[in-house]
């Protein structure tokens, strides 16, 4: 009888696992709350109108048809691994031989966060930010504050890269429109050296960009709360802004926090090196849903979610053939990003042995754009995976 793998979540991790397991001949069911995969890394260009919303979406039904994946578009309501059962929002239930959890993460909710907008939450928020930005541009002036927070319960759940990219891209857009003198751009974060996990060189390079571009910094100031058009800091100071783009730190997914599966203090699922959830040999967690183990600077990223998905798929293959799982994700932990600033980018790589930063004026921007096309073509099976991706 065919082995049935149930995958929860159709993002970076879930989609990669589904494709890999179908190539290995498993019966695969993919459950996603939405009918498209959202390509977060290129969504930074939706607010600046560099791309349309649809360009950052990859329809899941085309991929499901191509690979023979059974796709169910319906939110997961609960996971009960002790019963081997997953319940969906419509009340239907699914069983599995192997389960892969790839549902991403939720966000912490600092006081007053409803007065901010985030590029890292629900995809549609990118369109709301675009409208707010359009409004300020037609007014011809404004104050824009961009920031991100940390989660002391899991420092790997911070997402600062897109905040830096967002502020640099807005700077470039305003410069092109000749409006820079009428706008005030400020970046804020509670940690004294936000972005330091990218490595010393990358951090210093970013600081020099801030100085060169005239973007104000409020680093190392704990955030007390957000109010309408203001960030209030614990030291009593405040930052007024017409648009606040704030990326709250990640937190465990609310459905998984109720699942009874073992988790760390922040609600991320505890896994071993093979991506198996501790105490559950046939349940795997990959990507942002999982608690990562590894170097202090580790971060939840899309490329790592894909590595973990392939690790989980390989281990399911081994287990289903009566072998011990052999693949591990920890040796692959690295930070890899092409940090875009509108008219160029910087290639940043960090692993256990080295940290590299390479400024790529002009060409870096187009490389990142090309990566977005490549990702879609690769997932659609039209081009093979590039080595090292
Ligand atoms: C703006 C931005 C820019 C980024 N840039 C980069 C970058 O340049 N490089 C990089 O490596 N990483 C980047 N990242 C991080 C990267 O996008 C994430 O690490 C990656 O998406 C994690 O993959 P995942 O599969 O774990 O989660 P996701 O990709 O978030 O997928 C989770 C999936 O689960 C689904 N889901 C959630 N809840 C349910 C439910 N109840 N029922 C059913 N389905 C559900 C969601 O709809 C989604 O499809 C960026 C992130 C953001 C937000």
Cβ of 33 closer than 6 Å to ligand 1, yes or no, is: yes
Residue with CA nearest ligand 1 atom 37:
103
The pLDDT of residue 296 is 93
Ligand 1: distance of its center to the CA of 180 in Å? Answer: 32
Q: Is the CB of 288 under 6 A from ligand 1?
A: yes
Give percent above pLDDT 70 in the chain.
99
- Residue-wise pLDDT for 194-221, tens only, equals 999 999 988 999 999 999 999 999 999 9
Ligand 1 contact via 252 beta carbon (within 6 Å): no
Residue among 10, 12, 74, 257 whose CB has most ligand 1 atoms within 8 A, to mutate: 12
- What pLDDT score does 384 carry? 86
| Cα 104 to averaged position of ligand 1 atoms, centre (Å) | 5
Average pLDDT (233-251) is 98
Q: How far is the CA of 13 from the centre of ligand 1 (A)?
A: 8
Q: Does ligand 1 lie within 6 Å of residue 218's CB atom? A: no
Digit-coded pLDDT (tens) for 264-290: 999 999 999 999 999 999 999 999 999
Question: For residues 359 and 367, what is the distance between their CA atoms, to the nearest angstrom?
Answer: 12
- SS3 for 201-240 is HHHHHHHHHHHHHCCEEEECCCEEEEECCEEEECCCCEEE
Is the pLDDT score of 386 beyond 90?
no
Indicate if 110-249 has the same CATH topology as 4-105+252-333: yes
| Residue 11: Cβ-neighbour burial (10 angstroms; 0-12, 13-18, 19+) | buried
- 110-249 belongs to which homologous superfamily? FAD/NAD(P)-binding domain (3.50.50.60)
Identify the pLDDT of residue 37. Answer: 98
* Pocket lining: 148 vs ligand 1, CB cutoff 6 Å: no
Please tell me the distance between residue 3's alpha carbon and the centre of ligand 1 in angstroms.
27
pLDDT tens-digit map of 35-72? 999 999 999 999 999 999 999 999 999 999 999 999 99
Q: Whose CA is nearest to atom 52 of ligand 1?
A: 40
In this prediction, residue 36 carries a pLDDT of 98
Kindly state if the Cβ of 126 falls inside 6 Å of ligand 1. no
pLDDT tens figures, 112-170 = 999 999 999 999 999 999 999 999 999 999 999 999 999 999 999 999 999 999 999 99
pLDDT score, position 134: 98
Q: Is the pLDDT assigned to residue 80 strictly greater than 70?
A: yes
Could you tell me if 249 and 106 are in contact, meaning their C-beta atoms sit under 8 angstroms apart? no
Pick the residue with more confidence: 141 or 355? Answer: 141
Atom of ligand 1 lying closest to residue 253 CA = 38
Residue identifier of the C-alpha nearest atom 23 of ligand 1 = 12
CA distances from 75 to 40, 88, 196, 348, 384 (A): 20, 6, 36, 35, 31
298: three-class secondary structure by DSSP: coil
Q: How confident is the model at residue 385 (pLDDT cuts 50, 70, 90)?
A: confident
32 CB less than 6 Å from ligand 1?
yes
- Which residues lie across from 359 on neighbouring strands? 346
Residue 215: the pLDDT is 97
**Residue of minimum CA distance from atom 5 in ligand 1:** 41
Residue 387 has pLDDT above 80, yes or no: no
Ligand 1 atom at minimal distance to the Cα of residue 303:
11
Q: Whose CA is nearest to atom 3 of ligand 1?
A: 41
Q: Cβ(302) to ligand 1 under 6 A?
A: yes
Query: Does the CB atom of residue 368 touch ligand 1 within 6 A?
Result: no
- Whether 350 is in the pocket of ligand 1, judged by its Cβ within 6 Å, is no
Residue 2: pLDDT band (50, 70, 90) is: confident
Q: Distance between CA 103 and CA 89 in Å, rounded?
A: 15
pTM: 0.97
pLDDT value for 103: 98
pLDDT for 1 equals 66
Element (H, E) at 105: none
Indicate the fold that domain 4-105+252-333 takes in CATH. FAD/NAD(P)-binding domain (3.50.50)
What are the angstrom distances between the C-alpha of 118 and each of 113, 314, 371?
Answer: 10, 35, 23
User: What are the residue ranges spanned by the domains of the chain?
Assistant: 4-105+252-333, 110-249
φ/ψ of residue 268, rounded to 5: -90, 145
Beta bridge partners of 222: none
């Amino acid at each position: 009888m065919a082995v049935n793998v149930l995958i929860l979540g159709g993002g970076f991790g879930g989609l990669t696992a589904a494709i890999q397991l179908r190539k290995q001949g498993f019966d695969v069911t993919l459950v996603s709350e939405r009918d498209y995969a959202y390509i977060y890394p290129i969504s930074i260009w939706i607010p600046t109108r560099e791309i349309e919303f649809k360009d950052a979406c990859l329809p899941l039904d085309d991929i499901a048809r191509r690979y023979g994946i059974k796709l169910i578009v319906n939110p997961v309501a609960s996971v009960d691994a002790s019963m081997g059962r997953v319940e969906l929002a419509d009340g239907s239930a699914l069983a599995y031989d192997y389960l892969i959890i790839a549902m991403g993460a939720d966000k912490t909710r600092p006081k007053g966060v409803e007065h901010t907008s985030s590029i890292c939450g629900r995809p549609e928020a990118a369109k709301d930010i675009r409208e707010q930005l359009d409004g300020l541009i037609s007014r011809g002036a404004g104050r824009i504050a961009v920031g991100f927070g940390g989660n002391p319960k899991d420092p790997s759940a911070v997402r600062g890269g897109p905040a830096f990219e967002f502020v640099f891209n807005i700077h470039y857009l305003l410069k092109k429109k000749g409006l820079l003198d009428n706008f005030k751009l400020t970046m804020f974060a509670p940690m004294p050296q936000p972005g330091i996990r990218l490595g010393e060189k990358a951090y210093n390079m970013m600081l020099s960009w801030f100085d060169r571009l005239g973007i104000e910094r409020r680093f190392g100031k704990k955030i007390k709360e957000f109010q309408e058009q203001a960030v209030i800091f614990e030291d009593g100071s405040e930052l007024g802004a017409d648009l606040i783009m704030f990326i709250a730190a990640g937190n465990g997914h609310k459905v998984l926090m109720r699942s009874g599966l073992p988790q760390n203090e922040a609600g991320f699922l505890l896994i071993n090196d093979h991506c198996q959830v501790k105490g559950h040999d046939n349940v795997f967690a990959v990507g942002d849903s999982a608690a990562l183990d590894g170097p202090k600077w580790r971060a939840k990223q899309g490329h790592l979610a894909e590595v973990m998905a392939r690790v989980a798929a390989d281990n399911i293959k081994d287990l289903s053939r009566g072998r011990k799982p052999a693949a591990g994700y920890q040796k692959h932990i690295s930070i890899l990003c092409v940090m875009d600033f509108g008219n160029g980018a910087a290639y940043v790589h960090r692993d256990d042995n080295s940290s590299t930063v390479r400024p790529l004026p002009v060409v870096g921007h187009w490389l990142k754009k090309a990566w977005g096309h490549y990702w879609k073509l690769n997932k659609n099976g039209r081009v093979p995976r590039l080595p090292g991706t």
